[in-house]
């Protein structure tokens, strides 16, 4: 969308956005809090799982933090910025955290990590959840304007848009006035960054931690009275113009604010395995093929069909290690057709198995599918067997996507099972969270 906002208008782009962030919660918004609760349950589960990993533990040591205190808050013996960094890095480390289609990124790992980092005893769970809803709303609205071009140009939207969304959420959470909200957004916008090329390395979860940290930094700068530019989203030299050379009509952003809400439509995706959400349909389609009797050893050729750009995030056709394998449809499908499902430990291997390398030559990709729905992830796997017979399966809405969603009960069970096996989440905070999510 390229629509010029008239310079003569008295209300700036940034002011229009802030006015929507200042909206008070109504009874009709209670359903949105339920979606935010689901995201919180999932966030705590993946945060705890991520905190078990050696790379995350290095940050515990570096920041001199007791590993039993996640998620970190400003009441812990650590700065709020470091708390946000560690929360975000741990939450996104496994790539198991939620995603949102308009954002084309991971909202909770950034927004909730930042919110927890600034949480104190005066804050309430309802305000926490409402602030998250508003942060996701901004993230989705900005993503809808900028994507897929932003992602295709190599920006990691979790870091770029996530920084601003998390700052917006903090401003709502801390009940900032209009001037303060503009200020926190401006400080956040000037820090927003993150490269998609980091996928398959520790740089990707760093982007999430960095975004959460920068949002908290914007909060702290605003809190002490520093002032940034009053219209960071203006059409002269503002953020949209700088990052993607577009001019915006902010009225188009706010016209349907929370109607429907981005947390509802397209909604949040919740994963079952630690790899890129773009590979979820590949997983389900491969499982269907395996149930039909297809085995990797019987394949002559495997053709993976995507929409145009549908495999952009799956950038590794020939991954060399497990981290790169998180972004490889070939690696995911090979596991399923070999073992019946993916093995999470295979995404941590320093080198992919030789058996994968030997069969990877059988895989090809085609970008010939149609996709008319933002919530969809169409993927078709076409297999030519050694007897020259052909079998194929297509998945449009994989398990965990908004139109094939996990139940709240399933999310709660996952969290309880994880908490039983680890002490990484504070008992006092967990008790408070469970009380809130079970109301």
In a domain, 4, yes or no: no
Give the per-residue pLDDT at 7.
Answer: 41
Closest CA to 316 of 348, 362, 360: 360
Residue written as tokens 């947390």? Answer: 263
At 337-392, the pLDDT tens digits run: 999 999 999 999 999 999 999 999 999 999 999 988 888 999 999 999 999 999 99
The answer, yes or no, to whether residue 66 has pLDDT greater than 80, is no
Q: How far is CA 30 from CA 79, 257, 402, 427, in A?
A: 33, 16, 19, 27
Q: Among 187-191, 248-252, 342-346, 355-359, which stretch is predicted with the lowest mean pLDDT?
A: 248-252
**Alpha-carbon gap, residue 217 to 191, rounded angstroms:** 9
**Per-residue pLDDT, 343:** 96
One domain, residues 257 and 112: yes
| Model confidence band, residue 70 (pLDDT cutoffs 50, 70, 90) | confident
Per-residue confidence band for 223, with pLDDT thresholds at 50, 70 and 90:
very high
Count of residues in the chain: 439
Task: Give the mean pLDDT of the chain.
Answer: 91
Q: Are residues 297 and 430 in the same domain?
A: no
Query: Same domain, yes or no, for 71 and 215?
Result: yes
Can you tell me the mean pLDDT for 165-187?
98
What pLDDT, on a 0 to 100 scale, did the predictor assign at position 417?
77
Note whether 361 and 429 are same-domain residues.
no
Average pLDDT over residues 175-181: 97
Q: How far apart are CA 146 and CA 126, in angstroms?
A: 30
In this structure, the answer to whether residues 291 and 263 fall within a common structural domain is no
- 285 shares its domain with 226: no
How many CA atoms does the CB half-sphere of 268 hold within 13 Å?
29
Number of domains in the chain: 2
* Stretch (H or E) spanning 142: helix 125-146
Q: Tens digit of pLDDT for each residue in 264-298? A: 999 999 999 999 999 999 999 999 999 999 999 99
Q: What's the whole-number mean pLDDT along residues 252-267?
A: 93
Predicted local confidence at residue 5, as pLDDT: 43
Which one, of 69, 72, 67, lies nearest residue 83 by Cα? 72
> Are the CB atoms for 27 and 68 separated by under 8 Å?
no
Distance CA 388, CA 301 (A): 10
Residue 401 domain flag: no
The torsion of the CA quartet 197, 271, 290, 361, rounded to 10 degrees, works out to: 0
Asked whether residue 89 falls in the same domain as residue 108, the answer is yes
Please state the pTM of the whole predicted model: 0.92
Assigned token pair, 237: 């030299």
In-domain check, residue 1: no
Nearest to 421 by CA among 45, 70, 102, 125: 45
- Distance in angstroms (rounded) separating the CA atoms of residues 248 and 405: 34
Are 24 and 117 in the same domain?
yes
- Dihedral pair phi/psi, residue 102, rounded to 5°: -70, -40
pLDDT at 9: 52
Q: Of 12-16, 123-127, 270-274, 356-360, give the lowest mean pLDDT range.
A: 123-127
Supply the CATH number for residue 322's domain: 3.30.1330.120
Same-domain status, 245 and 163: yes
- Say if residue 263 is in the same domain as residue 281: no
d(CA 36, CA 34) in angstroms, rounded, equals 5
- My answer on whether 283 and 374 are in the same domain is yes
Decide: 360 and 316 in contact? Cβ < 8 Å.
no
| pLDDT > 90 in the chain, percent | 79
Of all residues in the chain, the percent with pLDDT exceeding 70 is 92
Tell me the C-alpha distance between 392 and 320, whole Å: 27
**51 shares its domain with 174:** yes
The single residue listed with the structure tokens 């093995």 is 343
Structure tokens at 214: 């920068």
At residue 32, the pLDDT reads 96
Query: Residue 24 belongs to what domain range?
Result: 13-270+407-437
Residues near 402 by beta carbon (within 8 Å), at least 6 away in sequence: 265, 266, 267, 268, 269, 375
CATH of the domain at 80: 1.10.4100.10
Burial label, 41 (beta-carbon count in 10 A; 0-12, 13-18, 19+): buried
The per-residue pLDDT for 10 is 80
Within-domain flag for 363: yes
pLDDT band at residue 419 under the 50/70/90 scheme: low
- The verdict on residue 7 lying in a domain is no
Q: Check: CB of residue 302 under 8 Å from CB of residue 364.
A: yes
Instruction: Identify which of 201, 42, 51 has the alpha carbon closest to the alpha carbon of residue 108.
Output: 42
């Amino acid at each position: 969308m390229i629509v010029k906002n008239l310079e003569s208008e008295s209300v700036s782009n940034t002011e229009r956005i802030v006015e929507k962030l200042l909206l008070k919660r109504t009874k009709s918004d209670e359903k949105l809090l339920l979606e935010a609760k689901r995201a919180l349950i999932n966030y705590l589960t993946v945060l705890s799982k991520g905190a078990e990993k050696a790379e995350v533990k290095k940050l515990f040591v570096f920041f001199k933090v007791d590993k039993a205190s996640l998620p970190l808050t400003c009441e812990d013996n650590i700065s709020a910025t470091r708390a946000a960094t560690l929360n975000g890095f741990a939450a996104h480390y496994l790539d198991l955290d939620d995603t949102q289609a308009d954002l084309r990124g991971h909202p909770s790992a950034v927004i909730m990590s930042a919110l927890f980092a600034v949480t104190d005893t005066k804050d309430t769970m309802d305000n926490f959840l409402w602030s998250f809803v508003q942060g996701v709303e901004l993230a989705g609205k900005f993503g809808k304007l900028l994507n897929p071009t932003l992602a295709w140009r190599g920006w990691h939207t979790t870091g770029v848009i996530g920084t601003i969304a998390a700052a917006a959420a903090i401003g709502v959470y801390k009940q900032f006035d209009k001037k303060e909200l503009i200020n926190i957004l401006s400080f956040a916008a000037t820090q927003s960054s993150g490269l998609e090329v980091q996928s398959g390395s520790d740089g990707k979860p760093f982007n999430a931690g960095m975004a959460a940290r920068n949002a908290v930094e914007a909060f702290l700068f605003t809190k002490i009275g520093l002032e940034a530019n009053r219209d960071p989203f203006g059409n002269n030299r503002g953020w949209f113009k700088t990052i993607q050379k577009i001019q915006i009509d902010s009225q188009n952003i706010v016209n349907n604010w929370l109607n429907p809400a981005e947390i509802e439509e397209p909604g949040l995706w919740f994963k079952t395995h630690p790899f890129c959400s773009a590979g979820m349909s590949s997983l389900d389609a491969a499982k269907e093929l395996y149930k039909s009797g297809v085995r990797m050893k019987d394949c002559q050729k495997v053709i993976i069909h995507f929409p145009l750009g549908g495999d952009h995030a799956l950038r590794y056709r020939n991954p060399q290690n497990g981290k790169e394998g998180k972004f490889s449809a070939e690696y995911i499908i090979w596991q399923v057709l070999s073992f019946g499902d993916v093995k999470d430990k295979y995404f941590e291997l320093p080198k992919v198995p030789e058996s994968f390398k030997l069969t990877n030559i059988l895989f090809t990709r085609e970008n010939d599918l149609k996709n008319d729905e933002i919530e969809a992830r169409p993927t078709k796997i076409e297999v030519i067997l050694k007897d020259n017979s052909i079998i194929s399966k297509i998945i449009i809405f994989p398990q965990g996507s908004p139109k094939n969603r996990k139940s709240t009960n399933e999310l709660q069970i996952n969290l309880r099972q994880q908490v039983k096996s680890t002490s990484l989440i504070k008992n006092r905070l967990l008790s408070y969270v469970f009380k809130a999510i079970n109301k």
